[in-house]
Amino acid sequence: MDIAGKNILVVGLARSGAAAAEFLAAHGARVTVNDAKPENELKDAAALRAKGIEIVAGSHPDELFEKSDLVVVSPGVPLGLEPFQKARAAGVPVIGEVELAARFLRGRLIGITGSNGKTTTTTLTGELLKRAGLPAQVGGNIGTPLISLVETSRDDGFTVIELSSFQLEAVDQLHLFVSVIINITPDHLDRYDSMEGYVAAKANVFRNQTANDFAVLNADDERVAQMNSLTAAQVIRFSRKRELDDGIFLRGAEIVHRQAGKDRGLITRDEIILRGDHNLENVMSALATGIACGASPDSMRAGVSDFKGVEHRLEFVAEINGVKFYNDSKATNVDAAIKCIEAFDGGVNVILGGKDKGGDYSPLAPLVSARCSNVILIGAAADKIAAALENTRPMRRASTMQEAVEIGLRLSRPGEIVLLAPACASFDMFENYEHRGRVFKEAVNRLAGAEN
């Protein structure tokens, strides 16, 4: 992709937007960054301006879009905005940061998406490939902008990418050697008009795949299973609930790979540190990807058995007076919260709430009744959640995370759990889910110190 001397507009000055702007400028483009926020709220603005990058903040001027040679969009910016439509009408290409990076990355790309489990699966996949001696790097929605990995990519290596639906909206030529869809459940319905739009965005992982590529699909998820016909790639299915004629499945306590009628045991449940049935699916996804990339089963068994998980995903924080605290701030939708609660047999005092994403909280009700002792509500969605969980378990309100943690400890009996599984976005009270998780852990550790 020839970018030297081109007028390129980057829209959205979040982490990936800033990284894209710096990359483009370093490769000779004339770069302008545009964000609807005022410049005093853009923390990277001064540093970018010092590198010769123009900043236009506070609005989206039409002429800025129409005079550009290329528009690069950060994933948090909706592609349906009118200026993007005018840019396309003027013949200006509009792509995302992931698509930009894909034009420059060397080696083979692995794209992992799903409503839940992306970060755990992406991190574990990277670890399994490295354990097998394969050159691998990890980025995308997981935290490191994909464009930042271009310089470290290599022809004989793999880049493992966590892909959100927002990122997948703006892909065109992205070609994945392995595409992975872990699951699809209702999410981001505040951005999409319907589930169909959300599912269509996820299906973009199959775009440009050929018969020499692989697609890893969850056979237990109805929406994902139906996508079998959407890819030209070789499909590797996985199932936690039944044996498959071909693929990866759970038989008793063992994860088995069946290929051409031959079975091979990969690992047992007892060897996996991660809690919960949903993490079995994440492990299966990573194992299937490793097999597609040529990783040895023995090295993957060792890699999975050593993997302790990632921050903010069912992360053990501390035990106070016999009460264990777990942080799953990444549970930003209802299905993710359900999976977290299901990881425990009972005695869960769950902290729910945050910014509503247009989801239905009523599917939580049966599980809250069965496995929770109390519900602690925080954030803007508290009233909506309370209405959905009426007549399930006692509910308390907290105005801060510190208060929620204190209420959780006060209500819990020894042997019980306090679980942060918000089922909501974080932006009403926090910068992002990581910030929310850190505040929760700080509150727990502060309380642990006070109790000692």
pLDDT given at position 197: 85
* CATH code at 7-92: 3.40.50.720
Could you read off the pLDDT of 82-134 as tens digits, one per residue? Answer: 999 999 999 999 999 999 999 999 999 999 999 889 999 999 999 999 999 99
Separation in Å, CA 411 to CA 85, 215, 399 = 53, 46, 17
pLDDT given at position 190: 65
Task: Using alpha carbons, select from 396, 405, 218, 417 the residue that is nearest to residue 314.
Answer: 417
Q: Can 7-92 and 99-306 be said to share one CATH topology?
A: no
Given a cut of 50, the residues of the chain with pLDDT beneath it are none
**Interatomic CA distance for residues 419 and 344, integer angstroms:** 10
pLDDT given at position 450: 79
- b/e map of 334-355 (b: 16 or more CB within 10 Å)? bbbbbbbbbbbeebbbbbbbbb
**Interatomic CA distance for residues 427 and 357, integer angstroms:** 11
* Tokens representing residue 14 in the block: 């979040």
Helix (H) / strand (E) containing 196 = helix 195-202
Domain map of the chain by residue range? 7-92, 99-306, 315-451
**Interatomic CA distance for residues 426 and 329, integer angstroms:** 8
* Residues taking part in catalysis: 118, 141, 188
> What kind of fold does domain 99-306 have according to CATH?
UDP-N-acetylmuramoyl-L-alanine:D-glutamate ligase (3.40.1190)
Separation in Å, CA 190 to CA 96, 235, 356, 359 = 20, 32, 8, 8
Angle formed at CA 300 by CA 252 and CA 124, multiple of 5 degrees: 95
Residue 288 DSSP symbol: H
CB atoms within 10 A of CB 254: 15
* Tokens representing residue 242 in the block: 């039944």
CB 396 within 8 A of CB 378: no
CB 241 within 8 A of CB 178: no
* Tokens representing residue 294 in the block: 């040529």
Specify the CATH architecture of the domain 315-451: Alpha-Beta Complex (3.90)
CB atoms within 10 A of CB 276: 17
